[in-house]
């Protein structure tokens, strides 16, 4: 079987020739070891700083050429996620950057007073203080109008379309879509959760608006040649969902599920979901929403892949296996045990895709990554 057929067979809960292998993302430090040179691929902070400095074409060229070379070298991987962070949409050609003011080596402030901070652990630049979101007022009437969606400049898809063109024949391509609704967090995490309790009608109005908006955006953001849509949002802490399962079923399931059905019907492709945390209380909702595959099965949050397979393996395809924490700080013996545990637990009957529990994250030991690959290749055949 080729990669596309192998993945589609697994999604249909049938047994392919061998277990498909995919990663949500492979971060730059591992990419550089594989390519033998520096890269902007999944170098999130480095890419962002370069974009602020006006080096857009340099970043895009690296994402294109290095990204394709990476997956040609990793010819045993079946899935390519073209919309992973720092390998998706790019600023349009000819744009003029408006960079934030640098406060120190790891901190920036933009004109609205947002504070951005570099994390050495994850290689991200994230907003740690957002006075705009905190002060924003949200009114139901603002979301009762029809959304206006305009076509983006085609050059924002330059990197994604290049990767699809050069890898789409051989690999299963996961890409993006318009807004997927999901769990709306108005004004940030703390305030967002509170809004579900004190302003439920507002949340319903926002969801309806996002549903209409996303449906219109699909025509632009679902790219020609992609085989599936990959959404990513964390609905849970390690201890359980951010909102109650009943609230999740009321606010998230209906319109997110309708978005899935719309994409299935109009574009003929499945929707996958990346969601970290302890999702046990809402896994029935994942099934009810019609998701084809659940990725980021996090054992450190209580999501044991063997038990998930037993309870849900006939309802939704599963993608995961080796805990990212072991890839970063474990031993090669840990990795060998993890690979065999995942394969033995989840391969039977199809419906399983091998990979890490999240991604090949910054800080992954290269020896551990290669051990994972070598061990998997020994046991991947049915």
pLDDT over 80 at 364, yes or no: yes
Which of 94, 106, 131 shows the shortest CA–CA distance to 48?
106
Q: Is the pLDDT of residue 279 over 90?
A: yes
Q: What would the pLDDT profile of 312-329 be if each residue is shown by its tens digit?
A: 999 999 999 999 999 999
Q: Mean of the pLDDT values across residues 116-123? A: 90
- The 10s digit of each residue's pLDDT in 8-29 is 999 999 999 999 999 999 999 9
The CA distance from 280 to 94, in Å, is 47
Mean pLDDT of the chain: 96
Is the distance from CB of 340 to CB of 375 less than 8 angstroms? Answer: yes
pLDDT at 211: 98
| Whole-number pLDDT of residue 84 | 86
Does residue 6 have a pLDDT over 80? yes
Q: Give the mean pLDDT of 331-354.
A: 98
Burial letters for 183-193: b for 16+ Cβ neighbours within 10 Å, e otherwise? Answer: bbbbbeeeebe
Which burial class, exposed, middle or buried, applies to 213 when counting CB atoms under 10 A from its CB (0-12, 13-18, 19+)?
middle
pLDDT at 121 over 90: no
In tens, the pLDDT along 240-271 reads 999 999 999 999 999 999 999 999 999 999 99
Residue 131 has pLDDT above 80, yes or no: yes
């Amino acid at each position: 079987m080729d990669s596309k057929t192998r993945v589609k067979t697994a999604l249909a809960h049938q047994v392919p020739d061998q277990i498909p292998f995919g990663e949500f993302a492979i971060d730059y430090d591992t990419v550089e070891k594989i390519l033998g040179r520096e890269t902007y691929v999944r170098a999130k902070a480095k890419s962002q700083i370069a974009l602020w400095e006006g080096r857009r074409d340099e970043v895009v060229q690296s994402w294109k050429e290095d990204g394709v070379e990476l997956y040609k070298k990793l010819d045993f991987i079946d899935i390519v996620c073209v919309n992973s962070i720092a390998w998706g949409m790019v600023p349009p050609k000819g744009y003029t950057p408006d960079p934030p003011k640098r406060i120190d080596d790891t901190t920036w402030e933009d004109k609205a007073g947002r504070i951005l901070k570099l994390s050495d652990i994850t290689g991200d630049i994230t907003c740690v203080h957002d006075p705009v979101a905190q002060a924003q007022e949200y009114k139901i009437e603002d979301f009762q109008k029809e959304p206006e969606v305009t076509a983006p400049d085609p050059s924002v898809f330059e990197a994604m379309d290049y990767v699809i063109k050069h890898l789409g024949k051989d690999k299963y391509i996961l890409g993006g879509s318009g807004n997927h609704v999901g769990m709306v967090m108005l004004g940030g995490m703390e305030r967002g959760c509170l809004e579900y309790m004190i302003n439920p009608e507002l949340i319903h109005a926002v969801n309806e608006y996002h549903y209409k908006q996303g449906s219109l955006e699909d025509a632009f953001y679902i790219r020609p040649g992609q085989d599936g849509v990959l959404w990513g949002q964390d609905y849970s802490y390690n201890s359980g969902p951010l909102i109650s399962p009943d609230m999740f079923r009321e606010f998230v399931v209906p319109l997110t599920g309708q978005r899935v059905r719309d994409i299935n019907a109009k574009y003929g492709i499945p929707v996958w979901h990346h969601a970290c945390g302890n999702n046990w209380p809402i896994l029935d909702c994942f099934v009810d929403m019609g998701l084809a595959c659940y990725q980021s099965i996090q054992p450190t949050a209580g999501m044991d892949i063997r038990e998930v397979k037993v309870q849900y393996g006939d309802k939704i395809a599963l993608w995961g296996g080796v805990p990212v924490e072991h890839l970063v700080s474990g031993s090669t013996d840990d990795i060998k045990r993890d690979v065999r545990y995942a394969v033995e637990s989840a391969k039977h009957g199809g419906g399983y895709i091998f990979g890490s529990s999240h991604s090949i994250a910054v800080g992954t030991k290269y020896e551990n990554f290669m051990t994972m690959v070598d061990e998997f290749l020994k046991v991947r055949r049915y």
